Amino acid sequence: MKTQLKEAMAAGVFVEFRDARGNTLEQVVYTNWRGRPVPAVGDALNCTLRQTAKRPTCKVRGKVVSRQFDVQHDERGEPCVWVILIAEVARAATDCEFKRPGAARFSEN
């Protein structure tokens, strides 16, 4: 069976939201993107994110600044393409509370 081009072009999408300095704010994965258009560089991207039990969802808006494609193979050996989008978020374009990671802690062993 031959894979349709529009299916192969959008198996899944990984989105990384970054601030203007390039710091990662949030990451989101869409595992079933088949048949939908993939945002291009310069496109606006609006997502609803689930954060914590106290604050279950928030909205973030960004502009796609980078788009990469990664060819992988599924469990049957069929090729599939994952898209990696980097979106820059202006601070005023979100109602999410992004927490900066704290200092790294390591065990003594």
Contacts of 43 (CB under 8 A, 6+ apart): 63, 64
8 A C-beta contact, residue 32 and residue 42:
no
At 39-80, the pLDDT tens digits run 889 999 888 776 666 666 778 888 999 999 888 888 888 888
The answer, yes or no, to whether residue 1 has pLDDT greater than 70, is no
Q: Residue 64 and residue 40: Cα distance in Å, rounded? A: 7
Burial letters 27-57, b for 16+ CB under 10 A, else e = ebebeebeeeeebeeeeebebebeeeeeeee
Structure tokens at 18: 């970054």
Report pTM: 0.71
Question: How confident is the prediction for the chain on average, in pLDDT?
Answer: 76
Radius of gyration of the chain (CA): 17
